[in-house]
Amino acid sequence: MNDVDKVLVVGGGIGGLSAAIAFASHGREVELLEKRPDFNVPGVGLGQPACALRVYRRLGVLEEILDTGFSYNHMSTFDPDRVLIVEHRFLMGGMGLPAFCALPRAVLHDILRRRAQALGVRFRMGAEVSTFGGEHGTSIRFSDGAQAEYDLVAGFDGIRSTARRYIVGDMFGPRHCGIGAWRVQVDRPDCVTGMEFMQGVRGKAGAIPITRDKMYLFNIRPEDPSEFFAADAMHLLMKERLAQFGSYVKEIADSLTPESPIVYGALEPFIVPYPWHRGRVVMGGDAAHVVPPHLTAGAAMAVEDAYVLARCVTSGEGSIQDRLHAYGETRFARNAFVYTFACEWMDIEQSVRSQAELTAAKAEYARNLDGRISAADRILDAFTC
Ligand SMILES: Cc1cc2nc3c(=O)[nH]c(=O)nc-3n(C[C@H](O)[C@H](O)[C@H](O)COP(=O)(O)OP(=O)(O)OC[C@H]3O[C@@H](n4cnc5c(N)ncnc54)[C@H](O)[C@@H]3O)c2cc1C
């Protein structure tokens, strides 16, 4: 049964672009609505685990991603002076896929946008949904005054989603958890060949290579939710926060200037219990769940959501309500795992508040970290498409 011909995807992030490609690949007529006037996306880099790479293969963009990005198969955990505590070989990928491939966010956007365009997706830029009307919520009035009817509206409009508000109201949504992430793109030292973390006191630093020449350096630490960081002081604030770390982190901290491309974001995790739809308006990606970045899998989950949504909806099995329910049920379970694991990991690392606790954490990591991440690898890698 084909009861969904015309799809509106709200949001042109990684999730929305993937949803647009997935529906268009199933022969649906797709329009993508993005509130930004262009695709000049802020952000730094994204590590994409093998489960997302498998979806990218289905979407027809894997080769370009692998050619452009930096692939890695291991993760190392160090002390603040970059003395190794434990190395972990990811149990993901295989059959031509690395465990991870990371690339600049803007580059990934560009690859997906071009693929969507090639499949005939129409872009409506610089506008938002003003009202979800009609019996199914799919009679849309846009902020630029236009109106249109769709068979399905897929809300991938990020953490402050309007689709989520339509579906579940204001009950569920982002809350600052008292932790913030500082990131800056810099030249990659030769020694950084995979993802790495340096556990410190009150926070960790780390790096992810995103091209042959570049990586991003990050610092995840407690931050006051009411704090405002002035743009011209960001380099001094980041340098101050990195003071406990040695090795290349110290060199980078010393080299930061007012021109350094520093990005700060508060962590605001949440997950909405399913169902993730109301009528024929459905959501996915950060609209439905936001996870701490510890498994580097938030965008990966958005991409999986997009693929599974298009597969469920176009399968034609059962009523459209049954199909949307099945989508939410399947995706909630997987995202709840990622959410719980990432929140626990963040709590463990952020609870190190003294040198004595750092010594204890190092011993615990040496004993258990490899096994803990292996368990997550197996579950993340189990996604088939
Ligand atoms: C510090 C940090 C590091 C991270 N690292 C990784 C990583 O390495 N790997 C990984 O997989 N994930 C990572 N993530 C998570 C990842 O960034 C997000 O999960 C991912 O971007 C979500 O994609 P999305 O398309 O759902 O939402 P978004 O990327 O937020 O896209 C939403 C889009 O919708 C648009 N929009 C918003 N509201 C409207 C509206 N009303 N109407 C129309 N358009 C609208 C926005 O402009 C935006 O373009 C990280 C997150 C953080 C905070």
Q: What is residue 97's DSSP assignment?
A: B
Q: Is 249 in the pocket of ligand 1 (CB under 6 A)?
A: no
Q: Tell how strand 122-125 and strand 100-104 pair up.
A: unpaired
Q: Average pLDDT, stretch 271-275?
A: 97
Q: Is 295 in the pocket of ligand 1 (CB under 6 A)?
A: no
Q: Which domain holds residue 58?
A: 6-174+269-381
Confidence of residue 2 (pLDDT cuts 50, 70, 90): confident
Structure tokens that stand for 204 in this block? 């960790």
Q: What is residue 152's DSSP assignment?
A: E
Q: Is residue 232 part of a domain?
A: no
Q: Average pLDDT, stretch 323-346?
A: 98
Q: Is residue 319 part of a domain?
A: yes
Confidence of residue 316 (pLDDT cuts 50, 70, 90): confident
38-47, 157-166, 307-316: range with lowest mean pLDDT: 38-47
Q: Average pLDDT, stretch 94-119?
A: 97
**Which pLDDT score, from 0 to 100, does residue 41 have?**
80
Q: Average pLDDT, stretch 208-215?
A: 96
Q: For a substitution probing ligand 1, which of 31, 40, 44, 46 has the most ligand atoms within 8 Å of its CB?
A: 46
Q: Is 69 in the pocket of ligand 1 (CB under 6 A)?
A: no
Q: Is residue 208 part of a domain?
A: no
Q: Is residue 206 part of a domain?
A: no
**Integer Cα distance of 24 and 9 in angstroms:** 11
Confidence of residue 1 (pLDDT cuts 50, 70, 90): low
Nearest CA, atom 38, ligand 1 = 157
- Residue 360's CATH number: 3.50.50.60
- Is 149 within 8 Å of 134 (Cβ atoms)? yes
In the chain, the number of structural domains is 1
Q: Is residue 237 part of a domain?
A: no
Look at residue 147 and tell me whether its pLDDT is greater than 80. yes
**Which pLDDT score, from 0 to 100, does residue 163 have?**
98
Nearest CA, atom 50, ligand 1 = 293
Q: Is 156 in the pocket of ligand 1 (CB under 6 A)?
A: yes
Q: Is residue 374 part of a domain?
A: yes
Nearest CA, atom 6, ligand 1 = 296
Q: Is 297 in the pocket of ligand 1 (CB under 6 A)?
A: yes
Q: Is residue 209 part of a domain?
A: no
Look at residue 72 and tell me whether its pLDDT is greater than 90. yes
Query: What spacing in Å lies between the alpha carbon of 11 and ligand 1's midpoint?
Result: 9
Query: What spacing in Å lies between the alpha carbon of 365 and ligand 1's midpoint?
Result: 30
Question: Could you check whether the bond before residue 275 is cis, i.e. omega within 30 degrees of 0?
Answer: yes
